[in-house]
Amino acid sequence: MAALQLGDTIVTWLPTPPGGETREALAEAVAHSPRYRRVLETWARLGPLWSSGLLRSLALATNAADPPSPHAPSPDALTSILAAAHRLERDPAWAALRGFAHAEAFNPADESLDELCADLLKGGPDPGLALPITSGLDAFALAHALTSVRSVGAAAGLRQSLSTAGLSAGSLAQQAEARLARVTLSIGLPLLTQASAKTIMLARDVLEQERLALATAIAAGSATAARAASASYAAAFKDRLGHVIGRDDDRRARVVGGFASLHLRETPADAAFMAAMLALGKPPAAPRGPGQPPTLRTLTVTAMPVTLS
């Protein structure tokens, strides 16, 4: 929810059936997997965000007429996720995690699609799926100079269904990843924690000037500018969105506002695997190759036990 309200463009990964995204392939996949139907129904509620281009499954706009470059990073996150799944299964550096590995789950087959959708829909994700997805999305973000957004659960025991990292709230792996990272700025913000796609678009529209200033400050990593921008955003949020909090939206669901703390961090590129190793009590693998290892920018979001009214 924080990414949808604050980001310029949000890129995620959507499982697709073996036959691609044609109408026939989708119909066949739904027939074989009721869970896939449920995933599609969930994402369909965000239709206005997809149609606006704010939410997408490909990174950056690409010209289909241009020949693909062998050196350009793939615009599809699945390539990075598959690479992470195979590293988990084969790379000696992560041998302690191999018991979780099952890269075959990412093969293009109806059974694999059903397994992935089951994991997306349930509360406690399978590490063999969550780790490659998280690590793959991180690699994808790094390749495209994007910021990886994570939910790290909620403060004071409050749990929110905002997990983008595939890890449970307050898990050992999340705590380990926090120790691996360096925080460059921290801010607190009011946000919509429950709202329809149209209400999210409304919030972005009425707060666009403040959102842009905040996004620019976060992208620059300027703590001073981010604090000033977050104060302006909070004041505008109260003035322009206060009247919708607590009311029903266009889908007849209650609009809920809350408060979240955001931390911009510099994190090792393999943080997901490294944190999982630490959670098992194993030393993480040392970075390999010459030069300084790449650093991933992550924005972690923690829901606070505050309800706006």
Q: Dump pLDDT digits (tens) for 258-278.
A: 999 999 999 999 999 999 999
CB 253 within 8 A of CB 245: no
Question: Which is higher by pLDDT, 122 or 143?
Answer: 143
Could you tell me the CA-to-CA distances from 99 to 95, 112, 167, 301 in Å, in that order? 8, 18, 17, 30
Q: What is the pLDDT of residues 25-46, one digit of tens each?
A: 888 888 878 888 888 888 888 8
Number of domains, the chain: 1
| Residue 251 CB neighbours (<10 A) | 11
Instruction: Give 134-192 pLDDT, tens digit per residue.
Output: 999 999 999 999 999 998 764 333 233 223 333 343 478 888 898 999 999 999 999 99
pLDDT at 71 over 70: no
Which region among 19-28, 68-77, 157-166 has the lowest average model confidence (pLDDT)?
157-166
Neighbours of 212 (CB within 10 A): 13
Q: Which two tokens stand for residue 250?
A: 């266009």
The pLDDT value recorded for residue 69 is: 55
**Which residues lie across from 256 on neighbouring strands?**
194
Q: Phi/psi zone of residue 9: left (φ > 0), alpha (ψ -120 to 50 degrees), beta?
A: beta
| Percent share of the chain, pLDDT over 90 | 50
Which of 113-117, 195-199, 236-240 bottoms out in mean pLDDT, i.e. has the lowest? 113-117
Residue with more model confidence, 241 or 59: 241
Q: How large is the average pLDDT for residues 68-96? A: 84
**38-42, long-range: CB < 8 A, 24+ apart:** 38/117, 38/121, 39/15, 39/117, 39/120, 39/121
What is residue 158's predicted lDDT score, i.e. its pLDDT? 29
Domain that holds residue 110: 2-61+69-308
Distance CA 170, CA 155 (A): 9
